[in-house]
Amino acid sequence: DDYIQYSNFYFTTPTISLLKDDVHAYTNSLLFLYLNKFYGTKTGFITKMHLANYEEKQQFDENLNNTSRSFGKDWVELLNEFHTASYFTNSRADTGIFLSDAPKFSKWNYPVDQSNGSRATKTVNPYSMERFYIPSQDTGCDNLLITLQGNVHTSETGAKDWAASIILTTDSGPSIHPVTFNARGKGQFERSNFRNFKDAIVVATNGHPSSKRSLTFAYQFCP
């Protein structure tokens, strides 16, 4: 278990880009352990990537997308699954969602300051994530609408630009809800009876392999 102390670098800096030459090697190991556990069927994700490149040499990022699509998802969606699942460590550990060593890892924090009101824009690193927070609301109307708008780019492979998930927490535990994005980089999520939840954490992933891009988050009640 010695790798755990080194891979905890990810939990102190969860917005770091993955799969880059300058990233801490043990940070990438978390991602590949996740792929091996949840996409490690008889011909698993990593094996498929190696075989695909052996049969016809291709760019790494293109191979990522092609392999992901063989599992029915774009790479950014799968990467967002990892980012979201990595929330479930330490006191929040769930080995059915994340790795079997989840209780031994540290846990990443998320911003809870709402001084900018219900709207914020953040820069998201390539192959990385950002987090937004919505506190519980004691209002007369509790239908919640979350809107995300990200920069888009033209991709020759048609790969999606963004993926995001909402973690809704209750006293009985959290639940994960994916966000659907359109071709213009806009994603929305709506939930009625938000008063039944303690809070919401938005985990958004940038699917571009090399560009930092901005993402604007907003929410409102009774839209």
What residue has token string 């929410």? 219
CA angle 128, 160, 168 (to 5 degrees): 60
CA angle 107, 181, 218 (to 5 degrees): 65
Q: What pLDDT is recorded for position 124?
A: 95
Distance CA 42, CA 75 (A): 20
Name which of 163, 210, 166 is nearest 189 in CA terms: 166
pLDDT, tens digit, 9 for 90 and up, residues 139-180:
677 888 999 999 887 555 567 889 999 999 988 889 999 998
Blockwise average pLDDT, block size 10, the chain, 223 residues = 89 92 82 94 88 91 93 95 98 96 95 69 95 81 89 67 94 92 91 88 94 92 77
Distance CA 144, CA 201 (A): 13
CB 134 within 8 A of CB 111: no
Question: For the whole model, what pTM was predicted?
Answer: 0.93
